[in-house]
Amino acid sequence: MNSDTYNNQANPLMKILFPFSLLVILGLLFASIRQDSFLLKQGWGLLSAEIIVIALAFCYWGFEKSRISAREISFIAVLGTIAAVSRVPFAALPGVQPVTFIVIISGYVFGSRAGFMVGSTAALVSNLFLGQGPWTPWQMFVWGLAGASAGLIKKIIPKIGTRSLIIFCFCWGYLYGWIMNLWFWTAFVQPLSWKSFVLTYAASFWYETFHAVGNVIFYLLLGTGFIEILERFRRKLKIEIIDE
């Protein structure tokens, strides 16, 4: 009996695309921070959108090239929509929303590929209600990274415990804000200096803290049950081919 399960392992192309995209983004970011950089002549807002759209295009292209069934695509779309809709009622609370928690659990159960797609979909769809802007591609990429990293953690530490997952969710509350702060600092703050860098990050410290604590609360309230539900759906997506 051969078993073809939901593909938690990314194909070789996806294994290359994620680190390659990150290297491209980091390289262009550092190159453009210099005041005399030719990259900044077009304006950081446009440049950052170009960088992140290219990275997202690589990831979506890899997803499209991978083996995936219609059921998998439908389920990823449903999870992304649930994450997006759940963000709207919490819009008035600074930093507190369940998107990061849902994305991380999705990546943990279904793998890095699904986690990235759920995160990026959630950002795009939720901003249809909360407002699109130059921040949308960055939110898509950062939330995608949260889901992808959860799948990677599951692969590295298959029997990761509840406490470790809580810590992981807590850390991503800060990581999400720190990456978004980097975009905000380079796009809207002048001059670009260590002083302005520190002040930018200090100003958002409590926002990231609320985000991190919110992730922990959502996990404590919903984490175990949500994982069990997704695990049941993952088993239903399993396809068995019986050789005669």
Residue with tokens 């990823």: 76
Instruction: Report domain extents, the chain.
Output: 2-241
Phi-psi region of 44 (alpha: psi -120 to 50; beta: other; left: phi over 0): alpha
Query: In this structure, are residues 106 and 114 in contact, taking their beta carbons and an 8 Å threshold?
Result: yes
Question: How many whole angstroms separate alpha carbon 32 and alpha carbon 158?
Answer: 39
pLDDT of residue 112: 83
155, amino acid identity: K
**Residue ranges in the chain modelled with pLDDT below 70:** 1-49, 62, 65-67, 69, 237-244
pLDDT of residue 119: 92
CB atoms within 10 A of CB 32: 20
pLDDT of residue 37: 53
pLDDT of residue 208: 94
pLDDT of residue 102: 94
What's the pTM value of the predicted model, to 2 decimals?
A: 0.81
Question: How many whole angstroms separate alpha carbon 19 and alpha carbon 31?
Answer: 18
What are 116's two structure tokens?
């990235």
Residue with tokens 């809207």: 188
pLDDT of residue 25: 63
Give the 3-state secondary structure of residue 153. helix
pLDDT of residue 240: 42
pLDDT of residue 1: 37
The closest alpha carbon to 172, from 119, 121, 230, belongs to: 119
Tell me whether residue 214 is exposed, middle or buried, using C-beta atoms within 10 angstroms of its C-beta: 0 to 12, 13 to 18, 19 or more: buried
Using only C-alpha atoms, the chain has a radius of gyration, in whole angstroms, of: 19
Q: Does the domain made of 2-241 have the CATH classification 1.10.1760.20?
A: yes
